[in-house]
Amino acid sequence: GVSVLELTHPEDLMASEGALRRVLAGETPGYRIDKRYIRKDGQSVWVDVAARLVRDAEGKAVYLQTVAVDIRDRMRGEVLQSARFAVTQALVTSPGWDKAAPHVLEGLCRALDWELGEYWEVDASREAMHFAVSWKRPGRDTSAYEATASQFTYRRGEGLAGHVWEESRPVSLTDLAKDPSPRSAAALAVGLHGLVGFPVRSGRRVVGMISLATWAPRELDEGLLGVMNDIGSQIGEFVERKRAEVALQESEKRMRSVLDNVSDGLVTLDPAGMIDSINPAVSRLFGYDEKELVGQKVDALIATTHRGSFMNYVERRLTQDLPASGALETMGKRKNASLFPLEFLVNSAQVGARRLFIATVRDISERKAHTDALEYQALHDSLTGLPNRTLFGDRLRQALLGARRNQTMFGVLLLDLDRFKDINDALGHDRGDALLQEVASRLKGVLRATDTIARLGGDEFAVVSTDAKHPDNVVAAARKILASLEGTFTIGDHTVETGASIGIAMYPIHGDDPGTLLRRADVAMYVAKKSGGGFAVYSPEHEGQTLRQSGLAGDLRRSMTQGELVLHYQPIVLLPAHTTYALEALVRWNHPREGLLPPDRFISLAEETNVIRPLTSWVLDTALAQLAQWVASGQDVSVAVNVSPRCLDDHSIVEDVTRALATSRVEPRRLTLEVSEGAAMSAPAAKALERLAEMGVRLSLDDFGTGYSSLVYLKRLPIHEIKIDRSFVKTLPGDPDAAAIVRAAVGLGHSLGLRVI
């Protein structure tokens, strides 16, 4: 009583009904089709059905004669082939596994007559297998079972997926009622009774699992298991290949993104040194579009004169697999033909199966400029821009090598400015620096481009005068220097005068090494300075003078403890009364070998060797001790002591005067300190003078008329008297010009309420 159609597999029902209708309609006497019947146990079976409609004599249908032949063996091969084809077609037509997976699952389910297919993926980083994608035939509801897939992850040996992963072979669950896993219970709940899982392998490594589910338990034959193994390997290879392709694409994409976004220029090269690609930074740097450079030899980016050495570097990098260190600095050439300093470094990189050579291209113009600037600063004087002592030494050595090679001579000139210290003390360091800059400018203006002019420090300059045919040529250069320094220098709102003392030493006459030439030029400069300026050419006789002066420097410090210093007192007379009201203390040095030395032989030496402070302290102590004796004997006198600018600038004079007055118990009003006009003008000196004046010490401006003070500044100083310089007084009364100057100075002093000496 069961209809044939009721036994027919739902997917074959339409074909069966259509064939039957055509027979009943008389279109055909019968039909033959392959179809599936559903057995009592729920499994399907393939049969070859041949049907013929039997009619009576009148042509009326009586019954349908049907013969069904079991064709499972024949269909098994066709089904398996159909499954292979379905999988292959899905893989070939899909760009990646994520797109292919649903079609593979559908093809397997339809070809092998399964209800539901799932793909589970191994996450190697977490050592777990998780659900990825599924496909289900339309019809009965299995959503409750499908929903559980995303709730589970399996480790090796756990559940169906874990066993397939662990054993790397197909695993079948023919009776879900006996399986305790939660997923089996969920399958039973929706009517599924058969589950099979087979591994997806890449080589020997399991990368995933495909599981298939059906309504009825199903036994798996060896043929199906073999096909499943083959399909699993096919899918695994596809998955890994696509994964590798995606990884390569992502790698190339990331690389391209890096290439496009880094600030440095990047050029990819083939093994022959041809340009494969460039990033936008290269386009910006050289002015080319990428299409203009691709396929060109890489030396198209390099200045013609540098291409030979450049290609030698590149070819070594391409063929010898050298490490990344060792960039080449060369000269790049832009599309507009402009040149710029370039750093080029070739490295190799493996991208998938491809070996690329990536060149980093960097414009080093700023770095070179910075390096050049640092080198310039290291070799040049920051104030004047002239070569410094280091560069001068190098130029001197070069001149020496050239002169030896060409058998020529050259001169070394050392130059020291006259009166610079006085100007610097009087006007301040800023104006002193401005004077040095102007001197440097004048020196550059009178010497040749081939000569080297350097500032060695302070107010000391040096010159290498090359290619001199005779010492007279170097002497002529010295005369030009002296002439350039004649006349006045305008420094801000001040006008000053200076000169120079120049010492000359000639190669090879006076020495054949840098040290000897410099030392002998220094000896000659000392001689010129002691002669009142100008120049002097080195002579062996000069050595004795400098040696004696050097010996004096060593003796000076000892002189104060050996009782060699003495004070001579020069009376200061009040003209109207012709009485002596003060005495000026003048120090002399009774040297055991040189005899009695005047101040001009050792005061400057004391200042240079920092003996001036203890010397000044000794003079104050001695003079005030003598004054105390005179006052105690009834003499109404005071004493005047000269003070060095050095003592004023470091305020040591205030401490020394305070101590000496306290020791001698002399009234401060009886002490007069004489300071030069130039020394009094500096800010530190002015503060020291104010403190001394507040103590009651009298202050005298020495050598008035020869310095640089303005009347406004003079009025601010806490001075009590001025001393007119002797150069104006010694020619009186016969010199009318000097008389006019003296009258003006006396009038000025009296108008300011100052005593005039």
Q: What is the mean pLDDT of residues 121-149?
A: 89
How far is Cα of residue 569 from the mean position of the Cα atoms in its chain? 68
Boundary-marking domain end, from 540, 572, 598: 540
Same domain, yes or no, for 185 and 93?
yes
Same domain, yes or no, for 572 and 705?
yes
Lowest mean pLDDT among 532-536, 652-656, 692-696, 711-715: 711-715
148, 207 contact by CB (below 8 A): no
101, 119 contact by CB (below 8 A): yes
Same domain, yes or no, for 475 and 616?
no
pLDDT at 547: 44
Same domain, yes or no, for 676 and 705?
yes
CATH of the domain at 338: 3.30.450.20
Residue 549 confidence (pLDDT) above 70: no
Structural domain that includes position 99: 75-247
Boundary-marking domain end, from 26, 41, 70: 70
Query: Predicted confidence band at 241 (pLDDT cuts at 50, 70, 90)?
Result: confident
The amino acid at residue 132 is A
In 546-651, DSSP assigns E strands to 565-574, 579-591, 595-597, 638-642
Residue 339 confidence (pLDDT) above 80: yes
On whether residue 550 sits in a domain, the answer given is no
Residue 542 confidence (pLDDT) above 80: no
pLDDT tens string 22-41: 888 888 888 888 888 888 77
Query: Predicted confidence band at 451 (pLDDT cuts at 50, 70, 90)?
Result: very high
On whether residue 376 sits in a domain, the answer given is no
On whether residue 545 sits in a domain, the answer given is no
Same domain, yes or no, for 456 and 515?
yes
Same domain, yes or no, for 411 and 522?
yes
pLDDT at 8: 85
The amino acid at residue 717 is L
Q: What is the mean pLDDT of the chain?
A: 84
CATH of the domain at 228: 3.30.450.40
pLDDT tens string 258-305: 667 777 888 888 888 899 888 888 999 999 999 999 999 999 999 999
Helices 182-189, 159-167: crossing angle, 10 deg rounding? 120
Q: What share of the chain is helix, strand, coil (3-state, %, to 5)?
A: 45, 30, 25
Q: What is the mean pLDDT of residues 438-456?
A: 92
CA distances to 42, 49, 54, 67, 235 from 4, in Å: 15, 11, 17, 12, 39
pLDDT tens string 550-609: 556 667 777 777 888 899 999 988 877 788 888 999 999 888 877 888 887 777 777 766
196, 220 contact by CB (below 8 A): yes
**For residue 12, what is the DSSP state?**
G
Same domain, yes or no, for 713 and 608?
yes
Which residues in 453-469 are b (16+ Cβ under 10 Å) and which e? bbbbeebbbbbbbbebe
Residue 513 confidence (pLDDT) above 60: yes
pLDDT at 352: 58
Same domain, yes or no, for 8 and 155?
no
pLDDT at 297: 93
Same domain, yes or no, for 234 and 119?
yes
Boundary-marking domain end, from 368, 398, 423: 368
399, 464 contact by CB (below 8 A): yes
Going by C-alpha positions, the residue among 751, 749, 727, 746 that lies closest to residue 738 is: 727
Residue 9 confidence (pLDDT) above 70: yes
How far is Cα of residue 276 from the mean position of the Cα atoms in its chain? 31
On whether residue 373 sits in a domain, the answer given is no
pLDDT at 259: 66
Domain count, the chain: 5
Higher pLDDT, 318 or 334: 334
Same domain, yes or no, for 57 and 79?
no
CATH of the domain at 658: 3.20.20.450
On whether residue 706 sits in a domain, the answer given is yes
On whether residue 353 sits in a domain, the answer given is yes
pLDDT at 665: 92
pLDDT at 705: 61
- Number of CB atoms found within 10 A of residue 281's CB: 21
How many Å apart are CA 695 and CA 657, to the nearest integer?
A: 10
pLDDT tens string 347-363: 877 665 667 788 889 99
242, 97 contact by CB (below 8 A): yes
Residue 712 confidence (pLDDT) above 60: no
Indicate yes or no: pTM above 0.85. Answer: no
Residue 99 confidence (pLDDT) above 80: yes
Going by C-alpha positions, the residue among 666, 659, 674, 675 that lies closest to residue 638 is: 666
Residue 320 confidence (pLDDT) above 70: yes
477, 465 contact by CB (below 8 A): yes
Residue 306 confidence (pLDDT) above 80: yes
Residue 440 confidence (pLDDT) above 90: yes
On whether residue 40 sits in a domain, the answer given is yes
Same domain, yes or no, for 677 and 701?
yes
Same domain, yes or no, for 323 and 351?
yes
How many Å apart are CA 336 and CA 284, to the nearest integer?
A: 12
Higher pLDDT, 220 or 638: 638
Q: Look-up: residue for tokens 């300071």?
A: 675
On whether residue 646 sits in a domain, the answer given is yes
